[in-house]
Amino acid sequence: MESASRIRTAVIPAAGQGTRMLPATKAVPKELLPILEQPALQLVIDEAVGAGVDHIVIVTSASKPAIEGYFVRTPEVEEALERQGRHALADRLRRYGDDITVSFVHQDEPRGLGHAVGCARSTVGDEPFFVMLPDELMEDSSLLLALADLARDGAAVALKRVPTNEVSRYGVVNPVGDSHVGAHGEVIGFDRVVEKPIATEAPSDLVIIGRYALTPDIFPILDALAPAATGEIQLSDALTIAARAKALIGLVSSIGRRDIGNPVGWLEAVVDAGLAHAEYGEDFEAWLRERLAR
Ligand code: UTP
C-alpha cells in the first residue's frame, strides 16, 4: 500500500479541443472517452487519490458540460453498480463531493497548457500541487508520490527518454549537472524546456511526460508570461523562467504509461485494460490470440 504524499491538490487541465480524436470529441470530451467502462478522467483521478490527493481542480470549458455532469452525485447509478456487485466502483463514485472535493474552473478558450494551469490559481491557493495531463494514463500512483517527495523546495517533473525522432512531440529539457540515482530512480537537474523542438535542435532526449509537482510560485510567472510563437501560453516557458533561480528537478521515470490523446494510444490502453480485467481478461486474451492467428 502506497502512503499519502504531502501534496493534496491536483490540477487536471481538460479544456483542450481534442482535435486528434475528432469526430468522437465533437460529442464526447476526450477526457471522458472510455477505457472499457470507465472514463479516462476517472482513472486519472484514481491515480491522484491513490497518492493522497483530496482536492481535484478540473480546468474545463463551457463547451464541455459533460465533464461537470460526470461528477454530479447520482444515487441511481451507485445503486445500479451495487446491484451489479461492483461495490468498489460505487464507493469510488460516492467519494466525489464527499471526502474528495472536485472543483471546476473555466478556461474561456484553449490558450495553452500554461494558461489552463494559471486559471486554477485562486482555487489552488498557496500550496504545492500536482498537474496531471488526463490524456496520459499511468499504471499506478507511484510517480506522483515520487514527484511530491522530490519537490520539497521547488518543482519536480516526470521525464522519460525517447528516441530522437520522437522529441518533436514533447517539451524537451536541457539537463545541467550530474544525474544521480536516488530512491525513486534517476534524478537530473534542468534549466530550460524547449517545447516541441525539431530533432536537431533538441537539447537532449529527455522529455516531459504529463505529471508535475509544482509550487505556487509558478502562478505569478504564468500570469506575466507572453504567448509563444504558437499563440499559446506554455507551461514549458514558465518552467524555464522558474529554473533561472535554481535548476528544477527531473525524475526519469520508467512507469507504464499510455498516451490516449491519439487513436492508437487510446486503443493500446483499452487492450491493456481488457487483458488485465479481473472478470473477463482471460476470455478477451483468448479471443485476441485467436483473432491474431487468423
Ligand atoms: P493536448 O494538446 O494534448 O490536448 O493538451 P488537446 O489540445 O485537447 O488535443 P489535440 O492536440 O487537439 O488532439 C494536454 C491536456 O491539456 C489540456 C487538454 O484538454 C489536454 O487534456 N489543455 C490544453 C487545456 O486544458 N487547455 C489548453 O489551452 C490546452
C-alpha cell at 158: 516526470
- Ligand 1, atom nearest to 112 Cα: 28
H/E element holding 193?
strand 185-195
pLDDT at 1: 41
Q: How many CA atoms lie within 13 A of 165 on its CB side?
A: 0
If you take atom 2 of ligand 1, which residue's CA is the nearest one? 16
User: Is 134 a pocket residue for ligand 1 (Cβ < 6 Å)?
Assistant: yes
Classified as helix, coil or strand, 137 is strand
Give a yes or no: residue 277 inside a domain: no
Give a yes or no: residue 248 inside a domain: yes
Distances (CA, A) of 287 to 36, 126, 264, 276, 291: 16, 52, 20, 14, 6
If you take atom 7 of ligand 1, which residue's CA is the nearest one? 16
User: Is 269 a pocket residue for ligand 1 (Cβ < 6 Å)?
Assistant: no
Give a yes or no: residue 205 inside a domain: yes
User: Which of 11, 12, 17, 59 is the best mutation target for the ligand 1 pocket, counting ligand atoms within 8 Å of the beta carbon and taking the most?
Assistant: 17
Give a yes or no: residue 276 inside a domain: no
Domain of 127, CATH number, reads 3.90.550.10
Centre of ligand 1 from the C-alpha of residue 16, in Å: 4
Positive/negative CA dihedral, 42, 44, 50, 54: negative
Q: How far apart are the C-alpha atoms of 174 and 167, rounded to whole Å?
A: 12
- What is the pairing mode between strands 129-132 and 9-13? parallel
Q: How far apart are the C-alpha atoms of 213 and 114, rounded to whole Å?
A: 14
If you take atom 9 of ligand 1, which residue's CA is the nearest one? 18
Return the percent helix, strand and coil in the chain, to nearest 5.
40, 25, 35
- What is the pairing mode between strands 129-132 and 38-39? unpaired
Q: How far apart are the C-alpha atoms of 211 and 113, rounded to whole Å?
A: 13
- What is the pairing mode between strands 38-39 and 34-35? antiparallel
Centre of ligand 1 from the C-alpha of residue 18, in Å: 6
User: Which of 11, 22, 30 is the best mutation target for the ligand 1 pocket, counting ligand atoms within 8 Å of the beta carbon and taking the most?
Assistant: 30
- Ligand 1, atom nearest to 134 Cα: 21
Neighbour count for residue 182 (Cβ, 10 Å): 12
Give a yes or no: residue 80 inside a domain: yes
C-alpha cell at 258: 499510455
User: Is 230 a pocket residue for ligand 1 (Cβ < 6 Å)?
Assistant: no
User: Which of 63, 106, 133 is the best mutation target for the ligand 1 pocket, counting ligand atoms within 8 Å of the beta carbon and taking the most?
Assistant: 133
Per the CB < 8 A criterion, the answer to whether 173 and 207 are in contact is yes
Q: How many domains does the chain have?
A: 1
Q: Can you give the pTM of this predicted structure?
A: 0.95
- Ligand 1, atom nearest to 135 Cα: 21
Residue-level pLDDT, tens digit, the chain, 294 residues: 445 678 999 999 999 999 999 999 999 999 999 999 999 999 999 999 999 999 999 999 999 999 999 999 899 999 999 999 999 999 999 988 889 999 999 999 999 999 999 999 999 999 999 999 999 999 999 999 999 999 987 899 999 999 999 999 999 999 998 889 988 899 999 999 999 999 999 999 999 999 999 999 999 999 999 999 999 999 999 999 999 989 999 999 999 999 999 999 999 999 999 999 998 999 999 999 999 999
Give a yes or no: residue 62 inside a domain: yes
Nearest to 195 by CA among 82, 112, 290: 112
H/E element holding 148?
helix 142-150
Between helices 87-95 and 75-83, what is the axis angle to 10°? 160
Give a yes or no: residue 285 inside a domain: no
Q: How far apart are the C-alpha atoms of 65 and 104, rounded to whole Å?
A: 11
Q: Which domain holds residue 83?
A: 9-261
User: Is 115 a pocket residue for ligand 1 (Cβ < 6 Å)?
Assistant: yes
pLDDT at 4: 64
Chain centre distance of CA 279 = 27
User: Which of 11, 25, 135 is the best mutation target for the ligand 1 pocket, counting ligand atoms within 8 Å of the beta carbon and taking the most?
Assistant: 135
User: Is 261 a pocket residue for ligand 1 (Cβ < 6 Å)?
Assistant: yes
pLDDT at 178: 83
Chain centre distance of CA 178 = 28
User: Is 14 a pocket residue for ligand 1 (Cβ < 6 Å)?
Assistant: yes
Give a yes or no: residue 4 inside a domain: no
